[in-house]
Structure 1
Amino acid sequence: MKALIVGAYEGSSSSDSPKLVLTKNGQQLDFSKDILKSIETLGPVKKGKSRLFHGISNQYLVVSLVNLGPGDAGINHVEHIDEKKENTRVAVAEGLKSIRGLDSEAINEVVVDDCGDAQSAAEGIFLSDWKFDELKDEKSRRKPLSFSLLNPNGENAAAWERGRLLARGQIIARRLADMPANLMTPTIFAEEVVKATEGTPIKVNVRDKAWIESMKMGSFLSVAQGSSQPPKFVELHYNNAPDTKPLVFVGKGITFDSGGISIKPSAEMDKMRADMTGAAIVAGTIITLAALKAKVNVIGLTPLSENLVNGEATKPGDVHRAMNGKTIQIDNTDAEGRLVLADALTYADSFNPQAVVDIATLTGAMKITFGEACSGVWSTNDKLWNLIHKTSIDSGDRVWRMPLFKHYTKEISDCHLADLNNMGKSRMGGSNIAAAFLQEFISCPNWMHIDIAGVMWNGADKGYLSAGMTARPLRTIVPFFESIFQNEQ
């Protein structure tokens, strides 16, 4: 049997007592008057909430009405978000939650009103339907449902499919990030990427430790030497814009981070299985771009390693030489993300890129700065910043620009033993100091660094994302990359 999610607007945001108005699709339902009559009797549905109706349709076992908020909602320039799009995602997710709350074996398909924005509706429904439960007993897993669009046509069907693919890309990355570290080693990650890209136009090269050594990636190897798991360096190539220079996307791939000898506290250390979320987002982004047949030329680089403690682990005060020849004094082995990224960024320049973007769960200071509200972005190029800021407003997954002042460079370049120190002299401005360190390994003038440590994890179901690793802001990055190449035309 089918269930239906249908939307209604509150009329105007300026109305003192907003009256719910069904969407265009909702008004065409033969039981629309029954819904409106019930609202008059029981009172309105609150914004972002739902109300279930039983027995009003022969076609649908249950109908979930969701409040989409004001009909005239749009971009909120204070919040830096398109509220109409975000309201749609949240509302349809709430509608699905109300249907799943029935725990009905009879319902196997949910039909979804496009709510005037089929892409956002698809993102909300498919993202909210997923949770990481594949390691549980089959009886405990979420019952699978199929989803379809109410009154599909050429335009809204295409938008629905785009939203579905964007959600799927984020789910791919979420799964990789949430998988326990014993089941997501560097080798397994590489195997998963190869498997996920089979039958696509993506070319994957999996580099081993011998190749990493031949490239003189001493900074990367300084992290990997503390683990018995061999490091990997995975390259993904997707080129559907052959007459353009590539954009290189680099993702931190620490499949478990104990902190090394500078060991982390035990509390919540289990979440460090997701210290490879940057690499997961690189893979999910490129898989999504290929599925969308996007006209882009993107190379993904994911240096993969564990950061553990053994007799060969890097010791605080050790000095290692990076691929670009610079020596690094490693005073804190828990600042390892910048070490693996340093060599990957140097290697990125070998592709003569038009731009380099890196993404990483890099610094705990991001949580202190922003909480879970947004990702931090550092950019040497205003155009790149403006493009990603615009796409973040649309996606609902926000970013905020951070400084690349020389003040922070001095923190890591005034070093006793080597050219650079992997830690600043001050504990203040830690995220900015980490970005300044990475900048020392970039030659491309168009560079962007994204720190996602603050948005890595949801402690509970929130909006349209279930508890667990979030893979934010993948849905911002995909259109960001598309817009870079659209602006090249």
Structure 2
Amino acid sequence: MDFTAKTGSAATVRTDCAIVGVYKDGRLSAAAMEIDAVSDKLVSGLVKSGDFRGQAGATLLVHKPAGASAKRLLLVGLGEAGKLDLKGWRKAHGAAVKALLGTGAKEAFSFLSSETVADADTYTLARHAAEAAEEAAYRFDELKSSLDTPPPVFGKLAMWVADRKSQSAASTGFKHGQAVAEGQSLARRLGNLPGNVCTPTYLAAAAKKLAAAHQGLKISVVEQAQMKKLGMNALLSVAQGSRQPPKLIVLEWRGGPKQKAPVALVGKAITFDTGGISIKPAPAMDEMKFDMCGGASVIGTMATVARLNLPINVVGLVPAAENMPDGLASRPGDIVKTMSGQTVEILNTDAEGRLILCDALTYSRRYKPSAVIDIATLTGACVIALGHHLSGLMSSDDMLANELLRAGIDAEDRAWHLPIGPDYDEQLKSNFADFANVAGRDAGAVTAACFLNRFTRDLSWAHLDIAGTAWKTGQAKGATGRPVPLLSQFLMSRAGVA
């Protein structure tokens, strides 16, 4: 989608559609008042009649508004007056774009940016306008033999700014927003692909394609034979029940000074998770294709980093495997020696994500990272704790945790800080190995993080449990691409560009 920033009046702008806001109490935005003044009180009349109530995210399309120069008028609800924040504004903007995608409008002019939005400047509004628009426009229909609806013709969006000076800030915002949206869309696509298509081999090929498209992005893949030599027995134990060979995908971006230690992102990619011998119940098992969304988010974030040519060093590691039941599959009670030399008793083969992550975290040490962040659809316990709104954040470094929390707020991709510590760590005790891979139902998300922390003791480390945020269920079922916005903002902030 093309984005531009322009000045102008809602009443006189020539466009396929003028987008204006209305508040819940019936108060018209400044742009809506401009339209109202030239259209014989069209907007206020719709409000008084009850045809439009200004509910947050509601839309109403009016064709050929009398007196206005625009071919269409789109009213968008902004919720309660005086309480419009970035989240609400972004929701309104996304709703507007979604409404226009089903019309014949090819372009539109949004005046929603003329409203006062708490803690948001021109750059921020432009960036989130681009992200919300691309998110609304995303479609996954590549595997359908015929399309339910034709592709939309809408592809250009102008955003109102106060003056020419603001256009520069908006232009930067659009650039950053589109780069984040590109990475998020890539993560969504990889997540939405079925397990029979998106295997570990496919995921490695997708990463190679990404690297080929961006100069400076390097890729290497650790294959099964090399994993055996390295002693990555935890990762290998997960894959041994599958005919699909595991991969450790490594993407390197060296945009910063050579001597500067990189940030390492480690993303869990179980391309399909049956639970192994500890097999999952049948209902909703199809959604276990989303168990690779942590790895997809790392690949998507690396796409954003490369597109923006960020002046920072980043290494993305994606351990990829399929967890299947088979005569060779790991059994409950099996003990494996990890790459770190520590031994793990596998009490539950459905707690496999931490097994592939622990060897990848150990492997990340060779890059001497300044920080290590792992991202995983790790535990159902995190969904119980936080639902589907916030990602769980656990860390051994409060400063790193605060950076990630701040990035989540700025990106509107929020996380919540959960504890870890010795008391929880005690629950991982094993009679037969150094520790077990599960610790019972109590505080399951926290003890899973404690398991990972045993492989990151002297590192600045954080863990993002995205089990509740990586995909949606029901009619809206599909990958969300989270936490690409959070990770991208974190790296952009560290690089000093946003």
- Separation in structure 2 between the aligned mates of residue 167 and residue 343 of structure 1, nearest angstrom: 30
Q: 1:330 aligns to what?
A: 346
Indicate how the Cα distance of structure 1 residues 18 and 141 shifts in structure 2: closer, same or farther if over 3 A, else same: closer
Q: 1:471 aligns to what?
A: 481
2:137 counterpart (129, 138, 163): 129
Report deviation, 1:110: 4.1
Indicate how the Cα distance of structure 1 residues 230 and 472 shifts in structure 2: closer, same or farther if over 3 A, else same: same
Matching of residues 25-424 of structure 1 within 5 Å:
27=34, 36-39=43-46, 41-43=48-50, 44-56=53-65, 60-69=70-79, 72-73=82-83, 84-100=85-101, 103-104=102-103, 106-113=104-111, 115-116=113-114, 117-141=125-149, 143-144=151-152, 145-150=154-159, 153-200=167-214, 201-242=216-257, 243-412=259-428, 414-424=429-439
- Separation in structure 2 between the aligned mates of residue 18 and residue 246 of structure 1, nearest angstrom: 52
1:10 counterpart (8, 23, 29): 23
SS at match of 1:138: coil
- Separation in structure 2 between the aligned mates of residue 32 and residue 289 of structure 1, nearest angstrom: 47
Deviates more, 1:391-400 or 1:328-337: 391-400
SS at match of 2:249: strand
- Does the 8 Å contact 1:458/1:469 carry over to 2? yes
- Separation in structure 1 between the aligned mates of residue 477 and residue 348 of structure 2, nearest angstrom: 31
- Separation in structure 1 between the aligned mates of residue 350 and residue 262 of structure 2, nearest angstrom: 32
Indicate how the Cα distance of structure 1 residues 400 and 155 shifts in structure 2: closer, same or farther if over 3 A, else same: same
**Deviations for 1:142-179, whole angstroms, at most 9, x for unmatched residues?**
51331322457322122123222212211110110110
**Deviations for 1:204-252, whole angstroms, at most 9, x for unmatched residues?**
1122111211211011001011111111110011121124210100000
- Separation in structure 1 between the aligned mates of residue 148 and residue 271 of structure 2, nearest angstrom: 27
**Deviations for 1:458-484, whole angstroms, at most 9, x for unmatched residues?**
1257xxxx5411122221111112223
Report deviation, 1:35: 5.1
- Does the 8 Å contact 2:113/2:160 carry over to 1? no
- Does the 8 Å contact 2:266/2:357 carry over to 1? yes
SS at match of 1:205: strand
What is the RMSD computed on CA atoms of the aligned residues? 2.6
- Does the 8 Å contact 2:135/2:181 carry over to 1? yes
- Does the 8 Å contact 1:218/1:321 carry over to 2? yes
Q: 1:451 aligns to what?
A: 465
- Separation in structure 2 between the aligned mates of residue 245 and residue 33 of structure 1, nearest angstrom: 63
Q: 1:78 aligns to what?
A: none
Report deviation, 1:124: 1.4
SS at match of 2:85: helix
- Does the 8 Å contact 1:389/1:398 carry over to 2? yes
SS at match of 2:212: coil
Indicate how the Cα distance of structure 1 residues 193 and 30 shifts in structure 2: closer, same or farther if over 3 A, else same: farther
**Deviations for 1:329-349, whole angstroms, at most 9, x for unmatched residues?**
111100000000000011111
- Does the 8 Å contact 1:338/1:434 carry over to 2? yes
Report deviation, 1:6: 1.7
Unaligned runs of 5+ in 2: 1-13, 115-124, 162-166
Report deviation, 1:108: 3.3
- Does the 8 Å contact 2:272/2:289 carry over to 1? yes
- Does the 8 Å contact 1:356/1:444 carry over to 2? no
Indicate how the Cα distance of structure 1 residues 123 and 460 shifts in structure 2: closer, same or farther if over 3 A, else same: farther
Indicate how the Cα distance of structure 1 residues 35 and 475 shifts in structure 2: closer, same or farther if over 3 A, else same: farther
Report deviation, 1:302: 0.4
Q: 2:10 aligns to what?
A: none
SS at match of 2:17: strand
- Does the 8 Å contact 1:387/1:484 carry over to 2? no
- Separation in structure 2 between the aligned mates of residue 168 and residue 112 of structure 1, nearest angstrom: 22
Letter in 2 for 1:338: R
Unaligned runs of 5+ in 1: 12-16, 74-82
Query: How many equivalent residue pairs?
Result: 464
SS at match of 2:156: strand
Report deviation, 1:445: 3.0
- Does the 8 Å contact 1:384/1:484 carry over to 2? no
**Deviations for 1:20-78, whole angstroms, at most 9, x for unmatched residues?**
21359x859996776545446545432321221111278644221212345644xxxxx
Among all aligned residue pairs of Structure 1 and Structure 2, give the percentage whose two residues are the same amino acid: 35
Letter in 2 for 1:187: T
- Separation in structure 2 between the aligned mates of residue 110 and residue 321 of structure 1, nearest angstrom: 59
- Separation in structure 1 between the aligned mates of residue 309 and residue 170 of structure 2, nearest angstrom: 18
- Separation in structure 2 between the aligned mates of residue 267 and residue 48 of structure 1, nearest angstrom: 33
- Does the 8 Å contact 1:9/1:23 carry over to 2? no
Indicate how the Cα distance of structure 1 residues 8 and 327 shifts in structure 2: closer, same or farther if over 3 A, else same: same
Letter in 1 for 2:441: R
- Separation in structure 2 between the aligned mates of residue 178 and residue 308 of structure 1, nearest angstrom: 19
SS at match of 1:320: strand
Q: 2:118 aligns to what?
A: none
